[in-house]
Structure 1
Amino acid sequence: MTTPSSSSTSSKLVAGSPAFWRSARGMFAGGFGTFAMLYCLQPLMPQFSQAFGVSAAQASGVVSASTASLALGLLPASWLADRVGRKPLMVAALSLSALLTLGCALASSFGQLLVLRALVGLALAGLPATAMAYLAEEMEPASLGRVMGLYVGGNALGGMGGRLLAALVVERYSWRVALVLIGVLGVLTALVFWRNLAPSRHFRPLRGSLGGMWRDARAHAGDAGLPWLFFTSFALMGCFVSVYNYLGYRLAAPPYSLSPGTIGLVFALYMVGSLASAWGGRLSDRLGRRNVLWLTQCIVLTGLGLTLAVPLVAIVAGLTLCTVGFFAGHSVASSWVGLRARQGRALASALYLACYYLGGSIVGSASGVAFGMYGWHGVIGLLALVQLAALAAALRLRQVQPLPRPPS
């Protein structure tokens, strides 16, 4: 006789089945569309400076507004997903974000563009806040890693593809045409996501109180390791976004005078980052996360220093090291959060991601001010301080005692 538990497990999606691959295709499209729409305007910042007469720091708002609103929307979105369901919220998030991106192309002022971009980020929060919970519920445990890898791969390729497409289009047409194309791409990914992702069959609405969430949040804040990991995500993302935000201004000016399309090619380094993420995970499994995280911070610091050189090849090498260090560090830190959090794991993940996106917004904006005052050296000086603080956090984490294994 089949028990309810075994029946529930056997009804989950298994790697290799047609339903699994359809859902994996849907999750890949969802991750691709989310990050394409979130970061597509990063290489267009110099064009916004020219079109609206704004500084580099002000132009960075097209990225910071979205990442900040996404960060603020993660906790409410995760709370809502526990009550209305996973797939409906994710489909709504992608669809609304695509329509708002199309609306960005019609913005008549920079202020309108910033408001629309903030709404894009707020709408997008529904997918990353829900995706991991959906996969954990619907996928057979042994198949979860494979589909999670496809989802993360969609994130990386979407971040690269959205930036690269926008940069190549703006070189021949305009930023408005680039936004229309990204918006259409968002609509298409939303359709693929809706058509392919299996409906939730194991979702059970929750009625947990806000008081329970507050208790879990206090427990996370009092943990010996989690706050340091949250700060690590803030610093890593802040440095990563800032380097890519303002390097375009430097490469567009003499002595390089590169075209927008050529500058956009630097985002192809995301492919290196995807490999670095897997490398960081394997290395931490072998040597331990506490012995690897600080090393990734050192790689980022070395990369930041190399970008101060004049030869273009040295700048690209420095950017490569920054990308490798970021992806590897993020892989190590994010997986460590899941191990440290013994209760409220979904909340711990949401807090990590909130700090992650707030870092991109806050440090990204502050770096724009530094760029306006002191140029590229000002950006690197500020980022070096942030990264040194992250290195100190990683060294502090080396002293944190691991939690005992739960009884089997």
Structure 2
Amino acid sequence: MITTGTREFWFATLALALGSFMIFANVHMTQPLLPQLAQTFHLTPLQASWSLTVTISMLGLSLLIYGSLSDAFGRKPIMVLTLLGAVATTLAISQVETYSSLLILRGLQGFFLGGLPAIAIAYLGDEFERKAVLVAVGFYISANSLGGVTGRLVSGFVGEHYDWQTVFLVLGFSSLFLVLLFIWLLPASKHFQAKAFHPRSVLADMRSHLQSPLLLTAYLIGGLNMMIFLSLYSYITFVLADAPYHLSTHALGMLFLTYLTGSFASAWSGRAALWLSQPICMILGILLLMLGTLLTLLASLPLIVSGFLMNSFGFFLTHSTLSSWVSQHALQARASASSLYLVFYYLGASVGSFYLEPFWQWAGWSGVVGASLGIFAVTLSAALWLHFRHKPSTQVFSSTCV
């Protein structure tokens, strides 16, 4: 088994961190480009947001497939194949001229991008000793959020000075370099034991998770929160690109630096769980989401940015706590339970624009805020229900952030 501090440990950890960085940079790359795509292809904000929606939804659905496939056919081969597929589709998108072609390839890209997130933790569990897993997961999770922020920043900077096709070209070749490093650095599996692929067993585990009120409530809170959180960033780009702000594509990309407070919240959530119950942590996070969203109604740009800093902290505090809650309350097949949580999480992200668009058309940003607060009220009520159903436990689980 790979132990902490060894050459193999650092090579494998760096490989998975680079792969994670590349995945989430590609997932979120179109978000600062939404106003530019809308102008180029004569789209509504909802139609432009499909360039993100289709990728996230396909990534979420793919999580149901790759984990079981890797149990049967191996970890590294599937991760390598899916990473190469993601690079190929990124480069192919840089050559398309119609929005429909872009959407088709973004969907295929999302399907490939789900390979590494579905398998990485299982690879660590196979090859690393327990202490080494805990250290490596910390680096891996940090790379998730850092990749998402960097992808948006690069996209905003390149998109301002060139065009959206160049963004895909730059990120495509950058991703290829990272994938080659991944292939070279990641050690081949030595302790993997293939298991027969039994779809009925997989479906039975998922049905069992969905029949658990505690798990199902956590899934719904995570999915609904993500549905609003990500979509707020999409719609605010249209607000800030218009009068009186007139922010450039580069400046819009800088807005996503507010995500960094989420990294701090994820790390802090584990400590908070030592003296507060997990449902209370969720409640605090959702209240911060509501307060930050209300703050964006003020016309001042610094206050809008402050609202999103607060939103990011509140969202990731709740998300990381929910991830730990799922691990703690899954009575069997914990990996399957966590994967199902991520499916709700990503599918929630993929439908947010469809929910908010009528409110945007009706009352602009004020309508979006009002509709968002309605959903947060639902998730707050669900977290309160978990609080009253909660039985304290002395076991502490590490948090995750995607």
Could you give the per-residue CA deviations for residues 97-154 of structure 1, whole angstroms, max 9, x where no partner exists? Answer: 0110111111111111010000011111111111111111111101111110111111
- Structure 1 position 327, deviation (Å): 1.1
> Is the 8 Å Cα contact of residues 81 and 130 (structure 1) preserved in structure 2?
yes
1:22 is aligned to 2:18: no
CA distance in 1, matches of 2:61, 2:235: 24
Report the identity percentage.
35
Choose from 387, 393, 397 the match for 2:376. 387
CA distance in 1, matches of 2:114, 2:137: 18
1:36 is aligned to 2:25: yes
CA distance in 1, matches of 2:355, 2:93: 24
141-150 vs 216-225, which moves further: 216-225
Choose from 194, 198, 201 the match for 2:190. 201
| Map of 2:275 onto structure 1 | 286
CA distance in 2, matches of 1:370, 1:109: 28
Choose from 162, 185, 193 the match for 1:173. 162
Choose from 334, 352, 363 the match for 1:374. 363
CA distance in 1, matches of 2:44, 2:361: 7
Q: CA distance change for structure 1 residues 138 and 403 in 2, over 3 Å: closer, same or farther? A: farther
Q: Write out aligned runs for 1:313-392 (5 A).
A: 313-392=302-381
Could you give the per-residue CA deviations for residues 175-229 of structure 1, whole angstroms, max 9, x where no partner exists? Answer: 1111101111211121111111111112111115222222222221222310011
Segments of 5+ residues of structure 2 without an aligned counterpart are 396-402
CA distance in 1, matches of 2:358, 2:97: 25
CA distance in 1, matches of 2:361, 2:182: 41
> Which amino acid in the other structure matches residue 258 of structure 1?
L
23-32 vs 360-369, which moves further: 360-369
> Is the 8 Å Cα contact of residues 89 and 109 (structure 2) preserved in structure 1?
yes
- TM-score norm. by structure 1 comes to 0.94
Could you give the per-residue CA deviations for residues 258-305 of structure 1, whole angstroms, max 9, x where no partner exists? Answer: 111112111112222111111122102331212211110100010110
Could you give the per-residue CA deviations for residues 343-394 of structure 1, whole angstroms, max 9, x where no partner exists? Answer: 1111111110000000110113322343233211121122111111111111
Could you give the per-residue CA deviations for residues 71-92 of structure 1, whole angstroms, max 9, x where no partner exists? Answer: 1111111121111111111111
> Is the 8 Å Cα contact of residues 37 and 98 (structure 1) preserved in structure 2?
no
Q: CA distance change for structure 1 residues 252 and 404 in 2, over 3 Å: closer, same or farther? A: closer
| Map of 1:52 onto structure 2 | 41
CA distance in 2, matches of 1:301, 1:324: 12
Paired residues, number: 395
| Map of 1:94 onto structure 2 | 83
Q: Write out aligned runs for 1:61-140 (5 A).
A: 61-140=50-129
| Map of 1:234 onto structure 2 | 223
- Structure 1 position 402, deviation (Å): 3.5
1:246 is aligned to 2:231: no
CA distance in 2, matches of 1:61, 1:281: 35
> Is the 8 Å Cα contact of residues 58 and 368 (structure 1) preserved in structure 2?
no
> Is the 8 Å Cα contact of residues 105 and 176 (structure 1) preserved in structure 2?
yes
> Is the 8 Å Cα contact of residues 277 and 392 (structure 2) preserved in structure 1?
no
CA distance in 1, matches of 2:87, 2:49: 21
Choose from 287, 301, 304 the match for 2:290. 301
> Is the 8 Å Cα contact of residues 269 and 323 (structure 1) preserved in structure 2?
yes
> Which amino acid in the other structure matches residue 54 of structure 2?
A
CA distance in 2, matches of 1:209, 1:80: 10
CA distance in 1, matches of 2:295, 2:104: 36
- TM-score norm. by structure 2 comes to 0.95
| Map of 2:399 onto structure 1 | none
Segments of 5+ residues of structure 1 without an aligned counterpart are 1-11
CA distance in 2, matches of 1:295, 1:14: 37
Matched residue SS, 2:232: helix
1:144 is aligned to 2:133: yes
| Map of 1:219 onto structure 2 | 208
CA distance in 1, matches of 2:361, 2:173: 34
> Which amino acid in the other structure matches residue 379 of structure 1?
V
> Which amino acid in the other structure matches residue 169 of structure 2?
V
Moved over 6 A (4+): 403-406
> Is the 8 Å Cα contact of residues 63 and 361 (structure 1) preserved in structure 2?
yes
